[in-house]
């Protein structure tokens, strides 16, 4: 078991269907959107300005990708910015780059997780 394993979102992956997204809580937290083959496409968060928390933030994120075979996992977390940055650092450590749908400005002010970070795939 490697050190990065404990940093990943532990929530189960679920299909990104309308019903599954509608059942998400209206709370603060972080989420990951992945393609059907398990590649993380976006790491996002639901903050204090998200009208319906994770539910509305995930809905907006899914609208950025026209594929229908996506999956999502969420984590309720009051420290959503710190946790979001941690997940971005984990992804960069494993893959060398941000997820494809994350904005390039998301990398600003990120630290590094090290030494070589690897983890489980969705």
The count of domains in the chain is: 1
Position 122 in a domain: no
pLDDT at res. 120 = 47
- Count Cα neighbours of 11 within 13 Å in the Cβ-side half-sphere: 17
Mean pLDDT per 10-residue segment, the chain (122 residues): 66 91 94 93 92 92 80 95 94 91 86 60 48
Position 24 in a domain: yes
- Mapped onto helix, strand or coil, the DSSP state of residue 34 is strand
pLDDT at res. 3 = 47
Position 112 in a domain: no
Torsion angles phi and psi, residue 72, rounded to 5: -140, 150
pLDDT at res. 52 = 93
Position 56 in a domain: yes
CATH of the domain at 39: 3.40.1440
pLDDT at res. 116 = 52
The residue range of the domain holding 91 is 3-107
């Amino acid at each position: 078991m490697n050190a990065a394993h404990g940093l990943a979102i532990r929530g189960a992956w679920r299909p990104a269907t309308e019903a599954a997204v509608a059942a998400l809580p209206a709370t603060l937290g972080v989420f990951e959107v992945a393609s059907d083959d398990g590649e993380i496409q976006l790491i996002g968060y639901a903050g204090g300005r998200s009208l319906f928390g994770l539910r509305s933030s995930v809905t907006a994120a899914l609208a950025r990708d026209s594929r229908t075979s996506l999956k999502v996992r969420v984590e309720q977390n009051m420290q959503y910015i710190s946790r979001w940055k941690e997940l971005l650092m984990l992804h960069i450590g494993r893959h060398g780059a941000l997820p494809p749908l994350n904005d390039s400005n998301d990398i600003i002010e990120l630290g590094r997780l090290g030494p070589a970070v690897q983890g489980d795939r969705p």
